[in-house]
Amino acid sequence: MPTNAESTQADRAHVFHSWSAQGAISPMPVAGGKGALFWDNEGHEYIDFSSQLVNLNLGHQHPRMIEAIREQAGELCTIAPGFANDVRSEAARLIAERAPEGLERVFFTNGGAEAVENALRMAKLHTGRHKVLSAYRSYHGSTAAAIAATGEPRRWASEPTVTGSVHFFGPYLYRSAFGASTPAEEAERALEHLEAVITLEGPGTIAGLILETVVGTNGVLVPPPGYLQGVRELCDRFGIVMISDEVMVGFGRLGEWFGVDHWNVTPDLITFAKGVNSGYVPLGGVLISDAIAADFEQSAYPGGLTYSGHPLACAAAVESISIFAEDDLCGRSRRLGDELIGPGLAEIGAAHPSVGEVRGMGCFFALELVRDPGTREPLVPFNASGADAAPMNEVLAAVRERGVWPFAQYNRIHIAPPLVIGEDELQRGLEGLDAALSVADSFVNS
């Protein structure tokens, strides 16, 4: 096996990496993984506290997933989407059965960005309108309409982009844009703000409103009670298609098949990917309400993908859903969050002045790191890079030195392990994180 340095050199010779200045990166080689662990070419092992990109819900190299893909490859590797195929039909049936009532049809894509792209197209065609509302603190993908809907800085370099994208402030009590002091106030004021945006933009011009059920990369922001129900009411009142982006939080990440189940809200469209089959073969899709699906009974839907409903990907989804059901992984995610991750992070937060807030649910949490817990000054500035990002980079290096690989953005560390993680591995990961946060504490204003 090559050394780490040799593998990195081979990568840098020809691989062009996403979201990166190519000359400034040195990707760590990964030689293998099992469950919640992965390791490099030289045997250094890491607890995967990020589930890679919050998609590896079943962990690395699940034997039943590998066998399902192998078996399907022996029968039929691929077929064009215009044909009927049993494994594609079964995947769609199983996904629809677990969705809220009234979302019976599935349009398959290769991933989350394409799912968002097609959901936005469906909303525009259904309403005959052109605008899309989305939150500033959001990420929806890097294709044309998806990046336009994205609220965070990764959108900037693609502008000007698809017209009609309008952003608003979603709820974020820790840094409330509305001066709220309680979850109830935050929900009420965020909804008043959203209604004002709708009014000022013209309700008759707005096709859809897309929201991450729980905001993912931009902070693990759990909506306060009543907020999603209020969004649903506003969409109903103004004839706007409600789209729930569940690419990151669907399929057990929050402890339910779909995150919206926590709030008993039924959107018009749900986008999914990642956890549907843990990324073993790329797959995403859109769950479509009966009313929107009816638009295309006699009129052709103007969109498609060569690999829509790829048999290998669908076979992985069928097996994944079976494993979830048999092992009650949604219930396990809830229990790990309620009994281990949440309490463990609360103890860590209480012990470190650099932790401004702990928030999350299921197997999806975040620590927001600050320089001053009183003023809530972030450990690093918004959209920090270069020298400004150095303190956070030091913290992350300390976490990884202790054999833990977290997900991070700006001043936040996210904890999103595979749902199959062992309790001992989870505890070791939390202990490594706890020890590493002494580095973050060193930046706290005395």
Q: What are the domain boundaries of the chain?
A: 31-61+328-441, 64-327
Q: What are the pLDDT digits (tens) for 246-284?
A: 999 999 999 999 999 999 999 999 999 999 999 999 999
> Could you tell me the two tokens for 308?
């829509």
pLDDT at 215: 98
pLDDT at 1: 86
Give residue 129's pLDDT band: very low, low, confident or very high (50, 70, 90).
very high
Q: How far is CA 431 from CA 13, 33, 36, in A?
A: 37, 21, 16
pTM recorded for the entire structure: 0.96
> Could you tell me the two tokens for 46?
């890491």
CATH fold of 31-61+328-441, please?
Aspartate Aminotransferase, domain 1 (3.90.1150)
> Which runs of E-coded beta strand occur in 280-416?
284-289, 355-361, 364-372, 377-378, 404-405, 407-409, 412-415
- Angle, alpha carbons 79-80-85 (nearest 5°): 55
Q: What are the pLDDT digits (tens) for 83-92?
A: 999 999 999 9
Q: Dihedral angle at the C-alpha atoms of 397, 401, 402, 407, nearest 10 degrees? A: 40
Judged against a pLDDT cut of 90, whether residue 173 lies above it is answered with: yes
Judged against a pLDDT cut of 90, whether residue 359 lies above it is answered with: yes
Judged against a pLDDT cut of 80, whether residue 446 lies above it is answered with: no
* Helix orientation angle between 342-351 and 423-441, rounded to the nearest 10 degrees: 20
What single letter denotes the amino acid at residue 443?
A: F
Closest among 158, 109, 436, 386 to 273, alpha carbons compared: 109
Judged against a pLDDT cut of 80, whether residue 313 lies above it is answered with: yes
Judged against a pLDDT cut of 90, whether residue 138 lies above it is answered with: yes
Judged against a pLDDT cut of 80, whether residue 148 lies above it is answered with: yes
Q: Which residues contact 313 (CB under 8 A, 6 or more apart)?
A: 108, 277, 281, 282, 283, 307
Q: Among the CATH numbers 3.40.50.300, 3.40.640.10, 3.30.70.2740, 1.20.1300.10, which is that of 64-327? A: 3.40.640.10
| Residues above pLDDT 70, as percent of the chain | 100
What single letter denotes the amino acid at residue 404?
A: V
Q: How far is CA 357 from CA 165, 171, 218, 360, in A?
A: 31, 15, 14, 10
Closest among 398, 421, 396 to 407, alpha carbons compared: 396
Give residue 139's pLDDT band: very low, low, confident or very high (50, 70, 90).
very high
